[in-house]
Structure 1
Amino acid sequence: MNIKKLLIVVLALVLSSVDAMGSRVPEWYPEEWQDPNLPIIENMPQMPALEGYKEDLDGKKLRKLQKTYTVALGTKVNVFIPLEVMTDIDIEATIIGNQIAQIPFDIELNRTPEKKNYYSVKYSKNELDIDDDGEIDTFIYSSKYINDRVSKDNYVKIFGEKISRDGVHKKKVYVTIEVGE
């Protein structure tokens, strides 16, 4: 919602600056720009006094504008880029028998968090049943807060004694960044 508001403000500023630039009139303009077909209004001079006129190189009369305005527009925009997870994490492991495997992995963000102990990693599931037998056998662990661009203290722990089916098992877990408490 904030991005929509920001885009609307930027668009309004751009359109107003384009309008201000488009309304500029040159300081001198030729006499033939005046339309001779316009009706002459009584009690109103058709042209101002001749003292404001100058001639260009071709001998055409030019008139200096009496009033000109310059509009300057200053713009200051505060852009906020949210933290995002930049890496896809693929964990491949071979578990034999009742083996307990602890597999470390890294999470890379698009930038370093500006506040310490404020952002945390959120998984769609922390506990998984990798072989779909009804018993939780895989756990995902991370530190409470993420303070660096690359978080290295994350790991997956797989308990081989709880896996009942042989074969290749795949699960998809989504990782997001959450504002801490």
Structure 2
Amino acid sequence: MKKLVKILLFIFISLNIFGVEEGEAEKPIIPMVPVLPALPNEKTPIETKTVFMGMKTEIVVPLEIISDIEIQAMVIDEQEIEVPFEIEFNKTPDRDKTYKIGYTQTEIDIDEDGKVDTYIYSNTNIDSKILKDNKVVIQGKNISKEGYHEKIVYITVETHD
């Protein structure tokens, strides 16, 4: 058995399988990394490249109300008054029947006596830049308190399917 180990060891050494010559110590493996010169007060040149990139973006401007609406009316006794108004938007909608108008209130008790006396009628679908055929109807028979009454109603643009 000892003879077999010696023969195999002799064959490995003669074929230089271990990569070590006889009488030589094993050399450390050093990776091939480029080394920048370290000269004092000298700048190392850096390679620069110009790269051109293309970009496409899609910008969507939301549909917004750009008009302020102020309605003033004088109601005498039991008179019923209709006040028409228009709503203007910043652009024409992209698609028909996609946007609708919303009000915080459409039935209002303007004098706060418990009876609804003011109604807002409007087309809910927005299909043009100016929404026409809107009106406020004030029923004088339901107003019991005399004087100047004010109410703020907020209008929103909503999307629907």
TM more than 0.5: yes
User: Could you say which residue in structure 2 is the equivalent of 1:148?
Assistant: 128
Report the Cα offset of residue 152 of structure 1.
Answer: 1.3
Amino-acid identity (%): 41
Paired with 2:111 and 2:94, the residues of 1 have a C-alpha distance of 40
Paired with 1:68 and 1:96, the residues of 2 have a C-alpha distance of 82
Q: Does 1:93 align with 2:77?
A: no
Report the Cα offset of residue 38 of structure 1.
Answer: 5.4
- The question of whether the paired residues in 1 share the 8 Å contact of 2:101 and 2:126 is answered with yes
- State which structure, 1 or 2, has the greater radius of gyration over its C-alpha atoms: 2
Report the Cα offset of residue 162 of structure 1.
Answer: 0.3
- The question of whether the paired residues in 2 share the 8 Å contact of 1:145 and 1:180 is answered with no
Residue of structure 2 aligned with 1:162, choices 142, 148, 156: 142
Unmatched tracts of structure 2, length 5 or more = 1-37
Match for 2:110: what amino acid? I
Q: Does 1:83 align with 2:63?
A: yes
* 1:116-172 per-position Cα deviation (integer Å, ceiling 9, x unaligned): 122111001111000000111000111131111111111101110000011000000
Paired with 1:82 and 1:136, the residues of 2 have a C-alpha distance of 34
| Residue aligned with 1:84, SS | coil
Q: Does 1:37 align with 2:40?
A: yes
User: Could you say which residue in structure 2 is the equivalent of 1:21?
Assistant: none
Paired with 1:143 and 1:75, the residues of 2 have a C-alpha distance of 41
Match for 2:40: what amino acid? N
Match for 1:88: what amino acid? D
RMSD: 2.4
Match for 2:154: what amino acid? Y
Match for 2:113: what amino acid? D
Paired with 2:74 and 2:59, the residues of 1 have a C-alpha distance of 45
Count of residues in correspondence between the two structures: 124
Match for 1:93: what amino acid? A
Paired with 1:37 and 1:68, the residues of 2 have a C-alpha distance of 23
User: Could you say which residue in structure 1 is the equivalent of 2:88?
Assistant: 108
Paired with 1:158 and 1:139, the residues of 2 have a C-alpha distance of 7
State the TM-score, normalized to the length of structure 2: 0.70
Unmatched tracts of structure 1, length 5 or more = 1-34, 40-46, 48-64
Paired with 2:144 and 2:118, the residues of 1 have a C-alpha distance of 13
User: Could you say which residue in structure 1 is the equivalent of 2:20?
Assistant: none
Match for 1:143: what amino acid? N
Paired with 2:140 and 2:78, the residues of 1 have a C-alpha distance of 4
Runs of 4+ aligned residues of structure 1 deviating over 4 Å after TM superposition are none
Relative contact order (C-alpha < 8 Å, sep 6+): which is higher? Answer: 2
* 1:36-75 per-position Cα deviation (integer Å, ceiling 9, x unaligned): 6259xxxxxxx9xxxxxxxxxxxxxxxxx9x763201111
Paired with 1:38 and 1:68, the residues of 2 have a C-alpha distance of 21
